Structure 1
Amino acid sequence: MGKCPFSFMHGLTSKNNNEESPAAPSTDSKSFAPTATEMFHTLDGHDDLNEQMRMIDLTEEDLRLLRLMKPVVEQRIDDITNQFYNTVLGVNKLEAIILEHSSIERLKKTLREHIIEIFDGNVNEEYIAKRLKIANIHKRIGLEPKWYLSAFQNLQNVFITAIYNETHTDVERIKLVQTVTKLLNLEQQLVLEEYEKENIREKEEQYLLVKNELKHKIAEFSGELIDLSIDTNAAVEQLVASSNEVNNTFQRTAASALESQGKAREGHGQLNNLTGQINLIYESTNEMERSVNELSSSSQKIRKIVAAVQDIADQTKILSLNATIEAARAGDHGRGFSVVAQEVSRLAEDTKNTVVRIGELTLQSSSLTSQVVGEIRKVQELTESGKQQSLETSRLFSDIVDSMQSSTQRIVTVEEEIKVLIQTIEGIGSATAQTAASAGQFKSATDNL
């Protein structure tokens, strides 16, 4: 292939051997081994970055080697950038991002400057700031880390291919590849770390946004919950008061029902007594009717006797008359018999008059008896009707007592249920008050987030 474009390496070898001549040969593999003069590159105020560079073994010798490689890279920069973008544009998504935010020629120019800056070998504040700016641009245009890493791997492949094509020994190749990959790795670390920081910052902003929105919603919800709890508690208190009033009314109603039930039972008992008395009256009227009937029968017998006595009196009077006639015929001898006959006649007349009077009285008594019998039958009818009404009223009282007993039992049951309801409502009120307190605490805790 002719003279190696990377023949500057012999100069680096001479420096490692403390020689000043740049023309010393560079074929000895040992000339690429680290020497005691090599120092790790460090930056003031970047402890983590210094540890990163120490971990990838980035030394001052590597940076000097990059500076020595810079002229050769500048000669091949167009080939490197063209080869890089030929690969990148093969991915439709990356091509779309490029065309949306820039142009191919502009990005090629930017990449040329970026690569040459790498081989300046100046890892300083400005170098770091530019890499962080690149990371921010990539994040802003939506280039995902996987595509950035893929593109950087592609760039690394281009460098490694170029190194292998332009060197003659494995020692040279290894040293140059190690140096280039160290810088590319450092670039990736800087960019990916900035990616991560930007992601964390975005997440923190999103978190703060969501947190503030959540605080606002929670505060609003807590306020509404407190207001609702207060209104609910007031309604519960009013409901408890109304329930207590209803319970008191039920208690009074239950007491009144029990009293009415007692009076109904008392009335039922008195009605039963009245029914018994009516039954006694009914029996008495029956006895009276029987007695009056017997009296009527006796009056009829008396009338028969009176009639018989009247007949006897009439016959006695006739006999007396006959005796008087016979006494008159006897003259003086019959005078005493005539007196007796007159007396018998007067007695017969008196007897007749008495018997007639007795007959009239008996007839009057019979008429009165008939009236009494009629009145007694009316009394019996009224008594029978009263008895039936008394029995019907007694049944109604029994139904009333049973109904009042059932109603009283239901009232007592409802009263117990109302007591349980009041306890439940009071429990709801207590829970509502606790909810309001919890909502207040929750709102306070949210305000302190």
Structure 2
Amino acid sequence: MGKCPFSFMHAITSRNNNEDSHTPNLIEHKHQTKRTEDFFHTLEGYDELNEQMRMIDLSESDLNLLRRVKPSVEKNIDYIIDQFYNSVLGVDKLEAIILEHSSIERLKTTLREHIIEIFDGKVDEEYIAKRMKIANIHKRVGLEPKWYLSAFQNLQNVFIQVIYNETHDDNTRLHVVKTVTKLLNLEQQLVLEEYEKENVKEKEQQYLLVKNELKQKIAEFSSELIDFSIDTNAAVKQLVASSNEVSRTFQRTATSAVESQGLATDGHEHLDSLTGQINLIYQSTSEMEHSVHELSNSSKQIQKIVNSVKDIADQTKILSLNATIEAARAGVHGRGFSVVAQEVSRLAEDTKNTVIQIVELTYKSGSLTQQVVEEIRKVQELTKSGRYQSVETSLLFSEIVEAMRSSTQEIVIVEEEIRTLIQTIEGIGSATAQTAESAEIFKSATANL
């Protein structure tokens, strides 16, 4: 078990010499003591502590007075201890600390020794060392300064009560109370100062621990950042190379698109020219069809005339036959007329044969004309279909040319955007390289903290 967390309850490394507890009360002691000239108590090598004692006006006469008060304190020590622990054990938190680190009986014993030691009137290096040890114990067991001060105030109240009971003169009471208060105040200063030093030391240790941990984390983070920056920089370089290749591909695509647009425009113009020629052919076939119709009509007229001539030839032959018959009746007188009639008959027969040939030729011409008309109609249908297809193809070419024009513009825009993207990526790569350098500098600076 550890020692009590309170400064006036801890075990003291060295015990006081036994003194006689049967000492007269303060009034009697006061009359028996010879007054000496006051001077301030000082310690060699403790300049600041000497200033503190001078500030609270702690003199050698005060220490002498404490020695004179000691017998009365020893006489009432059990009462003092009981009153103190009655108040301390009334706080659950303080009782828990006491029971965790010591026991009530043991603490009462150490408190007894400590209180008597206070009234030895010896403020030396050993006295200071014990107070520092008390502060260290307070810190170790987790006692907060407010509880230490509260307990000390309780102890001081008990001391004052005992002093009032043991003295019968107001001046003596005041003097003793002031003296006890000074020493208790000095005791608190020493303990709390050391307690604060321990707090500062602990905070410094925590700071160093956090600092070292932070340095380690920063170093690890910096190393990871450097590695990441190097990897990122390599990836950016690869991305720049790929982007450049994409840019060159887009440039080739843009060039091809421009060339294709030119070819499409030329094709559109050629198609327009072909459409015009097809229109001319269509017009020519229309005119030809009209001429053929005229020719067919002429053939029909010729057919009518041929039929008329054939009829005339037939009638002429009949007349010639009649004339021959009449010439034969006329005898010698009709021989000349008979010759004429024979010639007329022969002429009529020749005319008939010629007309028959003309009829055959006319029929052949009509048949050929009909075939020509059919072929012309086929050509007209083909030219009509070709003209329709030419118009459709021309519209399609117009859409292709417009689409390629828009596509070319978009390709050019994308090419510009890719160039901008490449510049951005290169900027990222440069920034990443700077990040790696900054991380390296940051890591070096962290190592020097």
Matches within 5 A, 1:318-333: 322=323, 326=327
- Greater shift after overlay, 361-370 or 344-353? 344-353
Partner of residue 161, structure 2: 161
Matches within 5 A, 1:33-432: 38-313=38-313, 322=323, 326=327, 351-432=351-432
The answer (yes or no) to whether the contact 1:64–1:121 under 8 Å persists in 2 is yes
| Counterparts in 2 of 1:76 and 1:304: CA distance versus 1, 3 Å | closer
Aligned-pair CA distance for 1:326:
4.2
Q: 1:153 & 1:139 partners in 2: Cα distance?
A: 19
Partner of residue 5, structure 1: 26
Aligned-pair CA distance for 1:260:
2.1
- Greater shift after overlay, 231-240 or 308-317? 308-317
The answer (yes or no) to whether the contact 1:6–1:69 under 8 Å persists in 2 is no
Aligned-pair CA distance for 1:330:
7.7
Structure 1 stretches lacking a partner, 5+ long: 17-37
The answer (yes or no) to whether the contact 2:264–2:397 under 8 Å persists in 1 is yes
Q: 1:348 & 1:196 partners in 2: Cα distance?
A: 163
Q: 1:195 & 1:413 partners in 2: Cα distance?
A: 75
Aligned-pair CA distance for 1:53:
0.9
Task: Specify the SS of the correspondent of 2:58.
Answer: coil
| Counterparts in 2 of 1:14 and 1:379: CA distance versus 1, 3 Å | closer
| Counterparts in 2 of 1:343 and 1:97: CA distance versus 1, 3 Å | closer
Matched letter for residue 391 of structure 1: V
Task: Specify the SS of the correspondent of 1:8.
Answer: helix
TM-score, scaled to structure 1: 0.83
Task: Specify the SS of the correspondent of 1:62.
Answer: helix
Aligned-pair CA distance for 1:41:
1.5
The answer (yes or no) to whether the contact 2:313–2:349 under 8 Å persists in 1 is yes
Matched letter for residue 265 of structure 1: T
Q: 1:280 & 1:42 partners in 2: Cα distance?
A: 136
Partner of residue 24, structure 1: none
Aligned-pair CA distance for 1:338:
7.2
Post-superposition CA distance 1:357-406 (Å, at most 9, x none) = 44443333333222222222222222223223323323332333344344
| Counterparts in 2 of 1:196 and 1:350: CA distance versus 1, 3 Å | same
Count of matched residue pairs: 425
Partner of residue 444, structure 1: 444
Identity of aligned residues (%): 75
Structure 2 stretches lacking a partner, 5+ long: 1-23
- Greater shift after overlay, 5-14 or 120-129? 5-14
The answer (yes or no) to whether the contact 2:41–2:60 under 8 Å persists in 1 is yes
Partner of residue 19, structure 1: none
- Greater shift after overlay, 338-347 or 400-409? 338-347
TM-score, scaled to structure 2: 0.83
- Greater shift after overlay, 263-272 or 180-189? 263-272
The answer (yes or no) to whether the contact 1:324–1:337 under 8 Å persists in 2 is no
Post-superposition CA distance 1:291-349 (Å, at most 9, x none) = 11211222222233334344445555666673797499585x88877776676666555
Aligned-pair CA distance for 1:147:
1.7
Post-superposition CA distance 1:71-106 (Å, at most 9, x none) = 443343333333333333333332322222222332
Q: 1:97 & 1:311 partners in 2: Cα distance?
A: 160
| Counterparts in 2 of 1:317 and 1:95: CA distance versus 1, 3 Å | closer
Aligned-pair CA distance for 1:52:
0.7
Q: 1:373 & 1:48 partners in 2: Cα distance?
A: 139
Q: 2:240 & 2:262 partners in 1: Cα distance?
A: 32
